[in-house]
Structure 1
Amino acid sequence: MDLLAQQDYVIIDNFFNAEKLNAAHHFFNQKQEEGEFKKAAIGAAGTEKIIREIRGDYTYWLERGRDIELQPIFEVLDEVKSVFNRLLFLSLADYEFHLAHYPQGSFYKKHLDQFEGRKNRMISVIIYLNKGWKTGDGGELRIFPEGEEPMDIAPLENRCIMFRSDTLFHEVLTSNTSRKSITGWMLYQPAVLPYIVL
């Protein structure tokens, strides 16, 4: 948390234990097989647009009451929120998360994780589910720390990246293979689903 406060981002490997990681993989694969993923758009609910030149991912929004198979994952997110509040005094009230799938050839151009007129996203959280990722597979997260050179972060399985939603510009480089993650935001105010990621 000290490192996050100092540089606006932090990388944590081996984030889930084996049981939770397997649960995340199983749920992700199940939702893909069921055809539950939808083409991601840009903008808040009611004003969203699908612009393929900006982003090419597909998402499945998580709901605690419906997605009971992911209860162990929600418990981890509860703990993360509690740690943020206790150590960084953020007064976080809620979070919103989705599964994200980037098919081969897809990307997401440089952006901030904030909506115009709604600034309650405080911390962005990405947990990668890419088994056997190797150099050349693409899909790296490129971040733009203020006053520093851009940095590319490999989307390794079970790697978690947390960063300030309101200050850290970032993009997803073109994925040369299927790229999977659990992605979301810690919120200053309660979320009302569905929200569309900016």
Structure 2
Amino acid sequence: MPNSDYFKSTALALQRDGYAVVPDFITPMLATELARECNAQNLASLLTPAHVGHGMQRQHAELIRGDHTNWFNPLAMSVVQTAFWDQMQALRRSLNQRLLLGLDAFETHYALYPPGSRYRRHRDRFRDDDLRVLSMVCYLNDDWLESEGGALRLYLPALQTDAPETEIFRDIFPHSGTLVVFLSAEFEHEVLPATRNRLSIAGWFSRRA
């Protein structure tokens, strides 16, 4: 379990910048076990092509996103999923205490991007549903090289100008154990193509309806 310094630094970065990047948020051992399970689920065809939208608007969207996912079921989680889930719940409680965000629920899934796939620029909050407050992603890729691509490109709204060609963004590479959290309504982002399988756990903290 991360110590209080990880939770404090995450809260301070969210308060200052609206996003936080926390290397080594989960241990190498947990990251390795989660990656092993994600790969095993992929081989067993338990990861399925992702959708975009929700409700009546939910649809396959291969041209928008190319990842394959499998949602965690809180009633039937594996040992390693439970370990990760418990850390996210501890983070949720800490952020509520420090930032008064009113985070009430958490949902998450494995995400595997095959080589060459991407997720085009978007926001995580639905137009007709404002319950999502924070987006999170935790990476599971050992020995990742920046030359392999696969960065999360986070567009920084406070730094944008009127000229599109001068848009400011930060590229965050998917190194194992790194956690990224950001305000769902504020940050457009995209996943850039990689040259190898790119593994992560993606999810959202939501407020009560």
Q: TM-score, normalised by structure 1?
A: 0.91
Partner of 2:117: 106
Whose helix fraction is larger, Structure 1's or Structure 2's? 2
Give structure 1 stretches of 5+ with no counterpart.
Answer: 191-198
Partner of 2:124, secondary structure, is: coil
**Structure 1 pair 9/142, CA: closer, same or farther in 2 (3 Å)?**
same
Aligned residues: 190
RMSD (CA atoms): 1.3
- The residue that corresponds to 2:181 in the other structure is 162
Q: Decide whether aligned partners of structure 1 residues 130 and 22 sit closer, same or farther in structure 2, where only a CA change above 3 A counts.
A: closer
User: Do structure 1's residue 2 and structure 2's residue 31 form an aligned pair?
Assistant: no
Distance 1:102 1:18 in 2: 21
- C-alpha change, 1:23 and 1:45, in structure 2 (3 Å) is farther
User: Closer, same or farther in 2 for the Cα pair 1:85/1:28, shift >3 Å?
Assistant: same
Which residues of structure 2 form unaligned runs of 5+?
Answer: 1-10, 160-167
Greater displacement, 92-101 / 143-152: 143-152
The answer as to 2:131 corresponding to 1:120 is: yes
Identity of aligned residues (%): 27
Question: Residues 74-131 of structure 1, C-alpha deviation per residue, up to 9 Å, x if partnerless?
Answer: 1111101101110010111111100001000100111100112111111111000111
Alignment of 1:175-186 (within 5 A): 175-186=194-205
Q: Alignment partner of 2:86: what SS? A: helix
Q: Which of the pair has more CA radius of gyration? A: 2
Whole-angstrom distance in 2 between the partners of 1:135 and 1:60: 26
Match of 1:195 in 2: none
Q: Distance in 2 between matches of 1:18 and 1:151?
A: 25
Q: TM-score, normalised by structure 2?
A: 0.86
- Runs of 4+ in structure 1 displaced over 3 angstroms? none
Q: Which moved more, 1:26-35 or 1:88-97?
A: 26-35
Query: Which of 86, 90, 93 is residue 75 of structure 1 equivalent to?
Result: 86
Which residue in 2 is equivalent to 1:153?
A: 172
Query: Is the partner of 1:21 in helix, strand or coil?
Result: helix
Q: Which amino acid aligns with 1:161?
A: V
